[in-house]
Amino acid sequence: MTNHSASAATRPLRVAIVGAGPAGVYAADILTKSSGVKDGDFEVSIDLFEAYPAPYGLIRYGVAPDHPRIKGIVNALHKVLDRGDIRFLGNVAYGRDLTLHDFRAFYDAVIFSTGAIRDADLDIPGIGMAGSYGGADFVSWYDGHPDVPREWPLEAREIAVIGNGNVALDVARMLVKHPEELLSTEIPDNVYQGLKSSPVTDVHVFGRRGPAQVKFTPLELRELSHMNDVDIVLYPEDFEFDEASDEAIRSNNQIKTMVNTLTNWLVEEHAEAEEPSSRRLHLHFLHSPVEIQDGGTGSVSGIKFERMQLDGTGNAKGTGEFVEYPVQAVYRAIGYHGSPLAELEYDAKRGVIPNEGGRVLDAAGAAVPGIYATGWIKRGPVGLIGHTKGDALETIGFLLEDRLTLPPAQNPDPQAIIDLLEERGVEYTTWEGWNRLDAHEAALGAAWTADGSSGVARERIKVVPREDMVRISRD
């Protein structure tokens, strides 16, 4: 084997990016565009790794199927990867198929963009009971994630969703919406069938603070009123505003719009006596979860909250008054949390890789040469998809600053990593493979549309089992 350890100053800079969600693709795009224009002329050669057989991370496995506008971001990411100057290698898991040592051997720098996919913990009695679920797990199910069970227990008539962020809205909407309205989306058949069998009548969303402290965004909130045969129910006693709320309404247009929307719904609800819908979505504020209750059968029978009051600063404090709601399922949607990565430090509290502006730090707080992070694993699971662009700019900026002092790869030949994956029997997928799977999913949608019996046109139907995704990609 040739020793290629000459510095990256005399050959293309070899960079591995681990995680092909928006954060990873943006980083790859920005790095590619920086080469040759910044800091003199240099070439870059990027491999974009992904643990799933398909790219797009959170967009494929985190965005609700009835949000095609956000899914549209896929078109922009597709264009980047379709240029041909970034190599996609899917179905390769960091820590299982390749170690940090491997990455160091084949690349001058590694950027981790693995995101945050699991639910934050909620430490209250009963949280582990049957019928108590993580919202992120439910999202994985309805988005056809390859590694989660195909069946989801949808037996509850009354359901509590804890949290006042957009994920809580997604979870609540998917639970309460009549599934026929989802049929035109890319939802897999097992998800449609599962939702069809649900006996749900009431979904209650609980925020621990007030209407001016919600973390929703206006469009996602307003969307709730567009569902067929679902009434939105609000409670006047939940509408409390303190000084900080008034200031937030004055200074933040998004908050103002959302408070207006909620207040209008409250007024309309009490003014109109329309034909009641068969399902209801209740929005409660100032409820902090205390305990999930067991009906004696080991499964959820109710949930207990402490009523809260605002303390003047926009935070809430307990009133000592408790309320209970009969529900048969509880979904916590109180935020995502990143997962640790083999051989790297991990901040368990924040769920991130410790870093300074994207330069990954060791246990002593010193930058680890050649290792970077971007996206949610860098700064935590907050912000919209577009915000990860700013992250990527910062991380790539530091990588470029460090470019001439990076620990050089021992074997930067792009074929070497392919040889290693093959030697290890890793069934990696490629960009061409994704195009095949993409076309296959579109063809499933077209066949459905052509069949015509449902009267619904579908652009795509997702392939769910990992082995099918891999087989179709590698055919």
Interface with ligand NAP (CB under 6 A): 67, 70, 122, 162-168, 170, 207-209, 213, 215, 217, 220, 289, 333-336, 381-384
> Least distance to ligand NAP from the beta carbon of 125, Å?
13
Indicate the residue among 19 and 370 with the shorter CB distance to ligand NAP: 19
CB of residue 21 to ligand NAP, shortest distance in Å: 12
Smallest distance from ligand NAP to CB 410, Å? 39
470 three-class SS: helix
Enter the tokens of residue 406: 């990076």
CB nearer to ligand NAP: pick between 43 and 324: 324
CB of 381 to ligand NAP, least distance (A): 5
Taking Cα atoms as reference points, which of 455, 465, 457, 370 lies closest to residue 101?
A: 370
Alpha-carbon dihedral sign for residues 444, 448, 449, 450? positive
Tokens for 149, please give them. 């069970």
- Nearer to ligand NAP by C-beta: 219 or 457? 219
**Quick one: 395 exposed, middle or buried, by C-beta within 10 A (0-12, 13-18, 19+)?**
buried
- Whichever of 207 and 408 has its CB closer to ligand NAP, that residue is 207
CB 173 within 8 A of CB 227: yes
CB of 424 to ligand NAP, least distance (A): 35
Give the dihedral sign, CA 380/386/388/394.
negative
Residue nearest to ligand NAP (CB): 165
Q: Which residue, 402, 335, 397, is CA-closest to 368?
A: 402
Shortest spacing between CB 401 and ligand NAP, in angstroms: 29
Residue among 122 and 442 whose Cβ is closer to ligand NAP: 122
CB of 359 to ligand NAP, least distance (A): 24
What b/e string do you get for 401-427 counting C-beta neighbours within 10 Å, with b at 16 or more? Answer: ebbeebbbbebbbeebbbebbeeeebb
Q: Which CB, 87 or 337, lies closer to ligand NAP? A: 337
| Smaller CB separation from ligand NAP, 369 or 380 | 380
Which of these, 174, 189, 96, 176, lies nearest to 139 by C-alpha position? 174
